[in-house]
Amino acid sequence: MPDILPHEKGFHVSWDQMHRDARALAWRLDGKGPEDGSWRAIVAITRGGMAPARPPIVIFTQCGYRQREKLPPSG
């Protein structure tokens, strides 16, 4: 039987773990922006719908931002 390469094993993360990690990152980023500790924007480029975009959305919300824009894909 051939050995399984590391990237073929997969790395599974639960939604709860993803939310915990995203919140922890947001707390670490809070107050450490380049302009007097605040951030002007958070940019996330994802592929595959809103599920891959969930971690940036959690970070965005935890940092206190409320307005977000979604741009349609361009062909």
Residue 74: predicted pLDDT: 67
Residue 4: predicted pLDDT: 79
Residue 5: predicted pLDDT: 77
Residue 14: predicted pLDDT: 84
Q: How far is CA 6 from CA 9, 13, 55, in A?
A: 5, 16, 24
Residue 48: predicted pLDDT: 66
Q: How far is CA 11 from CA 3, 6, 34, 53, 72, in A?
A: 17, 9, 33, 18, 29
Which residues of the chain fall below pLDDT 50? none
pTM for the model stands at 0.59
Q: Are 55 and 26 in contact (CB under 8 A)?
A: no
Q: Are 44 and 63 in contact (CB under 8 A)?
A: no
